């Protein structure tokens, strides 16, 4: 329910950003890879104890994850691109709980392990 409301609010900005990137010749795969890099930076920051600082690249990762799909829809979306996107998303989804487990294992390791197990199951 909230997803539909949130999507309706951000869709114009996402579509506008995708259009601007498309005009500059930037591809959806490039945006996917940039977003992944930012997501991994967020994970490194969390693992090294800088969780608050990690919010910035984490939010950028999520924004680029929305933009890459909109950008792909402006051109010819490919199965390869969709596979790249979902694969890197899952690496990111696993990296963040793992990073919290690494940062403070005595407090976070069990929760990180349960969350990672839930992803697999």
Residue closest to 85 by CA, chosen among 55, 53, 62? 62
pTM: 0.89
CA dihedral 12, 13, 16, 21 (to 10 degrees): -150
pLDDT tens across the length of the chain (121 residues): 567 787 788 889 999 999 999 999 999 999 999 999 999 999 999 999 999 999 999 999 999 999 999 999 998 878 999 999 999 999 999 999 999 999 999 999 999 999 999 988 8
Q: Which has the closest alpha carbon to 70: 22, 2, 38? A: 22
Question: DSSP characters for 21-55?
Answer: HHHTT--HHHHHHHHHHHHHHHHHHHHTT-HHHHH
Q: How far apart are CA 40 and CA 34, in angstroms?
A: 10
How many residues can be counted in the chain? 121
């Amino acid at each position: 329910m909230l997803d539909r409301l949130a999507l309706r609010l951000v869709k114009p900005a996402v579509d506008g950003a995708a259009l601007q990137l498309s005009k500059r010749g930037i591809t959806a795969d490039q945006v996917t890879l940039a977003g992944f890099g930012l997501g991994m930076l967020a994970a490194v920051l969390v693992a090294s104890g800088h969780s608050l600082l990690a919010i910035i690249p984490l939010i950028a990762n999520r924004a680029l994850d929305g933009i890459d799909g909109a950008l792909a829809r402006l051109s010819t979306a490919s199965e390869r691109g969709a596979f790249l996107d979902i694969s890197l998303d899952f690496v990111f989804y696993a990296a963040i709980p793992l990073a919290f487990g690494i940062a403070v294992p005595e407090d976070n390791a069990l929760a990180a392990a349960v969350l990672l197990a839930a992803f697999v199951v």
